[in-house]
Chain A
């Protein structure tokens, strides 16, 4: 049928500085991605990608970002993401980079991928854990995530267990 098809790019903001993730805002990030596309792909790229462009989901604790773009130009957006080297907020510049985890056609597929990815990340965090208190918190999150899907789906996306562990690790 006739509809506009989109591609959803699931990315992770990786940075040395712990304050970088907390200062993530959707408008700031959207503007940064648009400027980078204009620099890398010129006027044509900026115009082509900005029609269907939006920042759909942003999690400041884990640094997960979901970007939406039109299907015909998602490669232009995807190839411009490695050129983002810093995040600027209120005059502070934090060096960071965007790691693309998944490209999906709908938000639902990206959500499914994110749930599996977070489960795997929890197990990795459990292995690298140093503190006893953190270990218990992560073990609780892991057992909760193994429960049947309807109960844990809401919790996975809010990712409370991962947040505590991630903040404590940093």
Chain B
């Protein structure tokens, strides 16, 4: 007896995530400089505004977590703005006259991927 025809449904996601998540760390040349969350966001927006102007300074950028002691944060940006944000972070040189640099630790379209980083695994 012929088996009943099975129906299949195929769902293809071309780009499943409309946001990209970046884990970044701000490093200063001198130690002992602190920024609160608002100043950190102001720094990010001014970096975007310098390189890409007022139109791209208005990209929907969110700081999901921020730690003041280590100056590290998890940012969320829409996928079309990832390249612009990353390049403006690369070219940011100073904050209020003090030299600083952004270190990008991890970038992923999924937030869950930022919870475990195989680069930070310590093997004894």
In angstroms, Cα B49 to Cα A131, docked, is 52
Tally inter-chain residue pairs, CB-CB below 8 A.
Answer: 28
**Residue pair A43, B50 in contact (C-beta under 8 Å):** yes
Chain A residues whose CB sits within 8 angstroms of the CB of B59 once the complex forms: none
Q: Place the interface of chain B in its size category.
A: under 10
Secondary structure type dominating chain A contacts: helix
Chain B residues whose CB sits within 8 angstroms of the CB of A39 once the complex forms: 53-54
Which of B49, B51, B53 is most buried by chain A, counting CB atoms within 10 A of its CB?
Answer: B53
Does residue B56 face the partner (Cβ distance < 8 Å to A)? Answer: yes
Does residue A45 face the partner (Cβ distance < 8 Å to B)? Answer: yes
In angstroms, Cα B91 to Cα A42, docked, is 13
Does residue B86 face the partner (Cβ distance < 8 Å to A)? Answer: no
Does residue B112 face the partner (Cβ distance < 8 Å to A)? Answer: no
Chain A residues whose CB sits within 8 angstroms of the CB of B52 once the complex forms: 41-45
**Residue pair B50, A40 in contact (C-beta under 8 Å):** no
Chain B residue with the shortest CB-CB distance to A37? B53
In angstroms, Cα B56 to Cα A44, docked, is 11
A residues with a Cβ closer than 8 A to B are 37-45, 79
